[in-house]
Structures are given as C-alpha cells and as structure tokens.
Structure 1
Amino acid sequence: MEKEIKINFEVIESYDHLTDIEKTLFDKAQAIRQQAYAPYSNFLVGCAVLLENGEIITGSNQENAAYPSGLCAERTTIFWTSANYPDVKIKKLFVIGAPKEALTSTPIPPCGACRQSILEYEAKQKEGIEIYFASLNGEIYKTKSIRDLLPFSFDSSFL
C-alpha cells in the first residue's frame, strides 16, 4: 500500500517580497557564501541565522582534502551558534548555495546531515526554526520547521 507525504512550504516569489529582517538574512548569507572554502567542489554555500536576541550569525561551507572532513555552511553556523549562545533560540535559518561562477541558480535545501543537525536544535529549543533556502537570483522557499523537509525524522524519542 502506498501513502503520500505532503510537504508544507511557501514559495516567496522574489527578494522584494521578503521582510526587512529576511532581506538582511538573505544578504548576509549571500555575502558569507563568497568566503566559503570550497576548492574541491567549487560549490559555495552561505548560511545566516537569526537568534531570538536579535543577533545574526553567519557561516560558510568548509571543505578538506581528507574528504569527508569538511562541513556544510548550515552546520558550521548552528554549531558555532550553539557553542557561543547555548541558551538562545534560533528563530530563522537562511541558506544560499550555488557553483562558484554561477550568476543564477535554483534554491538548494539543506542536505540530509544538515537536516538531522537542525532537527536536534529544534528539539533542544522545543520549537521549530523557520528554514529559508534561496537561489542567487532571489527565488526563495520557506518552511516553518525542518520537519517539513525531514518527514521521517529520527530523534531522541527513539532512544
């Protein structure tokens, strides 16, 4: 018997349809993307998170010749955030990824490992994190929780 899974997400048609804080997160994710260390894949990813205290933290992907020792932008950002702001909730996470020389792109969602890591922080703070993933040219998808992108999730309730 087959069943269907419905994924809830919103399509934000352009950068102009973002709120001021969302535009700031988009801009910071796009800027930090240029600082990614990705000499092997040449795929640059930037991430910006908004904390409940108003702080914005950014990070980019970091590769390593000893693959898979590198780390995605989303995890560099949330791990640093948790280490430095352990009791402050993450409200929004914005990610932009594309090949180094791309002028346009499609929205790239967090990978599976990043989805699982984000899920852990949602469980820790007992509330969802709005996830935005965008193209370079401003096409944006938004979910209210990583659970929308990880419908069969594994969390501490299984342990």
Structure 2
Amino acid sequence: MNKIEIKSVLTVYEDVSELPEDIQQLMNIAVNARKKAYAPYSKFRVGAALSLENGEVVIGNNQENASYPSGLCAERVAIYQAGAKYPDLKIKSLAISASSDIKETLTPIPPCGACRQSISEYEIKQGEPISIYFMGKTGRIIKADSLKDLLPLTFDKDQLI
C-alpha cells in the first residue's frame, strides 16, 4: 500500500480592492451577471465572467428550470458560450460571485463538481491553466491558479481511449 498526498495552494484576498485591477473589473462584471440570474426556485444566484486572451469578456449566470436537472450553472453558461463564440481563444481568468436571496453569503463559494469538470475540459484543451477567483456576495475572494487546485485528480479524454 502507498499513500498519495495532494496539496493545493490557494490565495485569499480579504476584499475585492486587493485584487489586481483587471480582476476587480472582471469580478464586478460577475457580480452584475449574478444580479440577473434566473433563480426562482433556489433563490441562489451565481454570476460568472471570464476573460479571453484577446481581452474579450464572456458572462454567464445560473439559469434554473422547474425541471431541476435542466438548469445550468453560471460557470458552464459562460464557458460554453466562450467555446461556442470563440472556439480558438484561450481562457485566462474566471471570476465567480454567488449570493442567496434568503441568507447572507459571506464566504467564498467555489464552482460545483460539474462546473469543475467542465472548466477542466477547457483547461486541458488549451494546455494552459485558468485562474479562478470566487467569492460570496461580499467579503473574501479565493484564487486558484489552476482548476487542478480545485480538482486535482481530473477525468479527461485520456481515460476514454
């Protein structure tokens, strides 16, 4: 028997004002996208904004449906839109903001498992890491330098062949 130790290093910012200016702007776009989320059932709103290598910004927000599995998370809305609209451009950074209409969300909310897998696909496809910044409604922001810091054991096309 052997043991494997997996270590992730994350950066914590106390406030949006500590972020680099371009990431502050990206996070503000994510916050605005969050406010437009369609979340009549969960009352949990998420906004995402990603920056591409050419400077374009693509947004997404969660889109719920009465048939719950048919909804889609903000991160996947943004990343799939980027893939459809700009298939050959690399994603540099992703900013995520989440809040609840029911209670305060003061802790950083990371992407769910399905979103992590989807982000992983694009990170592997482009051969470069995607910086991921995530927060609640206000407060601290956590930065992962790569999706691999949030999902260290990835499932990818190599397992299918």
The answer to whether the superposition gives a TM-score over 0.5 is yes
* In structure 2, distance between residues paired with 1:48 and 1:102: 23
**5+ unaligned residues in a row in structure 1: which ranges?**
none
| Alignment map for 1:87-126 (pairs within 5 Å) | 87-126=88-127
Which residue is equivalent to 1:55? 56
Moved more, 5-14 or 98-107: 98-107
* In structure 1, distance between residues paired with 2:136 and 2:99: 8
Which residue is equivalent to 1:77? 78
Which residue is equivalent to 2:143? 142
Across the two proteins, how many residue pairs are aligned to each other? 159
Deviation at 1:104, TM superposition (A): 4.6
% identity of equivalent residues: 53
Deviation at 1:15, TM superposition (A): 1.2
Which residue is equivalent to 2:23? 22
* In structure 1, distance between residues paired with 2:56 and 2:125: 19
Moved more, 55-64 or 92-101: 92-101
Q: Give yes or no for contact 2:106–2:139 (8 Å, CA) kept in 1.
A: no
User: Runs of at least 4 residues of structure 1 off by over 6 A?
Assistant: none
1:36 partner SS: coil
Cα deviation, 1:67-103, whole Å, max 9, x if unaligned, reads 1100000000000111000001100000011202545
CA RMSD of aligned residues (A): 1.3
1:5 partner SS: coil
Which residue identity is paired with 1:49? L
* In structure 1, distance between residues paired with 2:124 and 2:56: 21
Cα deviation, 1:41-72, whole Å, max 9, x if unaligned, reads 00000000011000111110000001110000
* In structure 2, distance between residues paired with 1:105 and 1:71: 23
Cα deviation, 1:14-36, whole Å, max 9, x if unaligned, reads 11111111110111111110110
1:6 aligns with 2:11: no
Question: Which TM-score applies when normalising by structure 2?
Answer: 0.93
**5+ unaligned residues in a row in structure 2: which ranges?**
none
Question: Which TM-score applies when normalising by structure 1?
Answer: 0.95
1:68 partner SS: helix
